[in-house]
């Protein structure tokens, strides 16, 4: 976090759903303190097909599922660590929808106070 701007941190992980090619595919970044970041990961089925839309969420959850346009199986931890001038990693749930998985703009969907 820089001022009121949320930043990506190294090792942040997100999940992507798109058709049969990306079914809760885990993507991670090496970028640190970045306003935008490059995430890398592998398709869950390299021979699969992508859908017309890609749905992505942060932070990654191994048990997440997609039904229609709803991602479920995500949790906010009951125990959280405070750090001055920031918040604990993984406590800013975000989501994105795009035409494909290569360029996604995330928006916060909630916050922990």
The tally of domains found in the chain comes to: 1
Cα→Cα distances 71→19, 28, 38, 47, Å: 14, 19, 22, 23
Residue 103 lies in a domain: yes
Rounded to two decimals, the pTM is 0.86
Residue 7 lies in a domain: no
Residue 8 lies in a domain: no
Per-residue pLDDT of the chain (113 residues; tens, 9 = 90+): 456 677 899 999 999 999 999 999 999 999 998 999 999 999 999 999 999 899 999 999 999 999 999 999 988 777 777 777 666 666 788 999 999 888 899 998 876 56
What pLDDT does residue 110 have? 72
Nearest to 86 by CA among 57, 112, 58: 112
CA 8, 11, 17, 22 torsion-angle sign:
positive
What pLDDT does residue 89 have? 66
What pLDDT does residue 5 have? 75
Residue 1 lies in a domain: no
Residues 6+ apart with CB under 8 A from 68: none
DSSP 24: E
What pLDDT does residue 4 have? 64
Identify the domain containing residue 39 by its residue range: 13-108
CA 13, 30, 40, 102 torsion-angle sign:
positive
Reported residue count of the chain is 113
Residue 4 lies in a domain: no
**Owner of token pair 């839309």:** 53
Residue 113 lies in a domain: no
């Amino acid at each position: 976090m820089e001022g009121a701007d949320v930043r990506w941190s190294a090792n942040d992980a997100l999940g992507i759903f798109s058709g049969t090619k990306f079914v809760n595919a885990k993507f991670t970044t090496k970028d640190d303190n970045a306003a935008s970041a490059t995430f890398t990961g592998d398709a869950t089925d390299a021979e699969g097909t992508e859908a017309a839309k890609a749905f992505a969420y942060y932070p990654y959850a191994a048990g997440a599922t997609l039904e229609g346009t709803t991602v479920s199986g995500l949790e906010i931890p009951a125990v959280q660590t405070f750090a001055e001038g920031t918040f604990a990693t993984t406590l800013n749930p975000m989501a994105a929808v795009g035409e494909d998985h290569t360029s996604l703009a995330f928006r916060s969907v909630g916050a922990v106070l």
